[in-house]
A and B are shown apart, each in its own frame.
Chain A
Amino acid sequence: MAYDSSSYGGGYDDSFEQRPEFKNARDLEQQEPDYDTNFVPDVVKSFVVYLYRYIREKNVYEILQMYEISFQKLSERMFKQSPWPVVEAIAPYVDNDHVFCLLYRELWFRHVYARLTPTLTQRMESWDNYCSLFQIILHGNVNMQLPNQWLWDMIDEFIYQFQSYCQYRAKLKTKTDQELALLRQYAEVWNVVGVLNYLQALIEKSNIIQILEDDKDGSTNFTAQNGYDFQGGGSNVLKVLGYFSIVGLLRVHCLLGDYYSGLKCLVPIDIHQHGVYSNVVGCQITTVYYYVFANLMLRRYVEAIKACNQILLIIHKTKQDHQASSQFQQILKKNEQLYALLAICLSLCPQGKLVEENVNSQLREKQGEKMLRMQRNDEAVFDELFSFACPKFITPSPPNYDELVNYNQDAYRLQLKLFLSEVRQQQLLSSIRSYLKLYSAIPISKLASFMDVDEPTLRMALLTYKHKTHVLDYDGRIISNADVEFYIDKDVVQIVDSKVTKRFGDYFIKHILKFEELVGVLESVQL
């Protein structure tokens, strides 16, 4: 975006003479559907003028204020049930700047998706807008600095709209002939391969994987600078979009049921460390949510529990700060979903000691009763919590337009079914657990009679326990997720004393750090 201070601002455009009358009319009939979206109210005019100016001045702080606060406020006040003015109407105030218009339209469509119901044409136009925007960015033709929050929202919304389109397309029963014709004609719109390729291209063009690699040995400072590039005078847009596309790929893969590939895409980002992703709260929660879900489906319960605990603690501590945020409702929703996932994981793998006290008490309050029922193998509860907490799975392929059925639930039903069959395979394990906890050694015959099964069945159940609680990590090593460890010698089950040895090392490290922090605070106190 070229900087040219002479051509912005200045007076009303003559073509908007009828403004006052129109305003009155709208006040009387708020719901008026054919409200003129060509009309640009003063506040909107100054909004775009200032936003445009700040973008050219690379004033990230002011851009963020306008993006996060002003845009929401104006939407709330003036465009609660109607779209913002069309881009053609505001273009004259921003020098018809091509990139700014694309950014404005991105906001425009996002507002339509959030507050209204997008028409098929709008869905298609929004796809075109993303394509134009990404293509310009991929060709390196921007030198803006945009707030990371905005760039994350772009990737997030891009995938949301893709998912929404797949859901919309899958409901064929209610489509008009005209809509069907459009869907058929523009098969490339929101096509899954296109979506994945854009994310992949952003990652590759930005060279972000190499940058993150270099960051580790200190030869770049992408993470330290939080992705911005103020000194170099460069742009953060491509790099940070590439970075967030890594999370984007994880999400799309999970929506497709491809958890393994999703986690593989995420490898460049270490979710146990701070990073650019953890400075944007929505991104952090999304990343960890899909990470947890994928690990649950891969049966890596301990990993899922640890990550879940970590993010729930963060949400718990920072919830107050986000109350004013436009994403507060979404944060709350994800919070509840994560508690449901944690309840599922702990029911399949009761490693309660991995969960911090704050999280644990919330968990008991929210899911305590359901967890008891899951321990008793109540499949309906697994079903209910899974359905509540799972992502909105999609069927990526275009439908058979000659067979007008709704298939929008197919992908979800498949994932649910496979999850429940996993639960069924583990149904004897929780009672084995509860018996083993009571003994240090017990003959197989005795345990079998307690559990009311024959000996061969019990031997199988014990082997199943071992198989299900041991997973392979990426290097092919066997990792134990078992809460109760045992081995069988001949005909006797020997239970390993599970007394937890206090980890003094970690305890001291924690307190040394706390002490250091306190000393720092004391030193800064002015008496």
Chain B
Amino acid sequence: MQRDRVAATPEREVTPQYTMEQIVAVNPYNPDILPDLEAYVQEQVNSQTYSLDANLCLLRLYQFEPSRMNIQIVARILVKALMALPAPDFNLCMFLIPEKLQMEDPFLTLITLAHFLETARFREFWDEAARNRHILEVVPGFEQAIQGFALHVLSLSYQRLPRPVLAEAINMEGLSLDKFLEHQIASNGWSVEKVSGGGQLVVLPPNEHNYPELKKSIVDSIPLEHVSKLFPILT
């Protein structure tokens, strides 16, 4: 049990230093850890780390005592959750935030941004993001994280895609896109083809989603747990 394990350690350590994750695992419903969790959100922002468990725990404690809710911190949790895409974390957080709050800014803006990302409307997303720098800039790594998500969706879908489609999705153009492509070609197995009418095609490295034939071998096999049903008969 988590609690026993944690409680057993102090013998070795004079000043026990538990990670916030351990504290959450042991006290998932303890309102006393609320201030620590709030500080931990800021720590995640500063150190570019992320803990869904800790953040959901904080939202849960807010849900139990709405008067203690700190809107700025909730907004930061949501920005971090957007950055966790393709994981559904943004929705998971929204399930716990009172509807009344969701009708106000900054939540309205964040909901719009999430909607654009969920429906792959990257052009609209980047435009809207540019208009709302004040919410997003406080969280370092935001732009890179969303670009990462866009690349994830593109590589699920495309073998070869026109350069402008890529440019729009990751919000890069001209020289900076050239530089980005150079880097991907050098280290991630991308390549670029010229098209007859001018322009470029970007070739993404194969994975089992854009090259479905890579997946075949798994489908034909029988999982061990199914075979294990026969063990009693065989012995």
Contacts and interface: CB of A to CB of B under 8 A. Distances in A.
Nearest to A260: B92
Contact of A200 (B29, B102, B119): B29
A487 B157 contact: yes
Interface residues of A, number: 59
A118 B226 CA distance: 50
Given A260-B56, A460-B121, A415 B95 contact: yes
B174 interface: no
Given A200-B28, A415-B95, A470-B156, A192 B233 contact: no
Highest count of chain A CB atoms <10 Å: which of B96, B118, B120, B219:
B120
| Majority-rule SS of A interface residues | helix
A81 B96 CA distance: 40
A63 interface: no
A489 B57 CA distance: 43
Highest count of chain A CB atoms <10 Å: which of B56, B99, B157, B211:
B157
Highest count of chain A CB atoms <10 Å: which of B65, B119, B165, B220:
B119
A301 interface: no
Contacts of A489: 158-160
A299 B118 CA distance: 12
Interface residues on B, range: 35 or more
B66 A487 contact: no
B3 interface: yes
Highest count of chain B CB atoms <10 Å: which of A468, A489, A496, A506:
A489
Interface string A441-468: 0000000000000000001111110111
Contact of A501 (B29, B209, B220): B220
A209 B5 CA distance: 13
| Majority-rule SS of B interface residues | helix
B1 interface: yes
B63 A396 contact: yes
A497 B125 CA distance: 34
Contacts of B153: 463, 466-467
Given A258-B60, A261-B60, A509-B226, A397 B118 contact: no
A471 interface: yes
Contacts of B156: 466-467, 470, 478
Interface stretch (B42-50, B83-91, B177-185): B83-91
Contacts of B60: 256, 258, 261
Given A466-B153, A480-B209, A496-B212, A418 B91 contact: yes
A470 B212 contact: no
Interface string A197-230: 1001000100101100000000000000000000
A2 interface: no
A257 B230 contact: no
B20 interface: no
A22 B29 CA distance: 51
B120 A467 contact: yes
B154 interface: yes
Nearest to B207: A478
A507 to B, nearest CB: 10
Given A297-B91, A414-B95, 14 more contacts: A200-B28, A204-B4, A207-B1, A260-B92, A396-B64, A397-B65, A410-B99, A414-B102, A421-B115, A466-B157, A478-B209, A485-B212, A487-B209, A505-B227
18 contacts: A193-B29, A204-B4, A207-B1, A299-B88, A410-B98, A414-B102, A415-B95, A418-B91, A425-B115, A425-B118, A462-B157, A467-B86, A480-B209, A487-B209, A489-B160, A490-B201, A505-B227, A506-B222
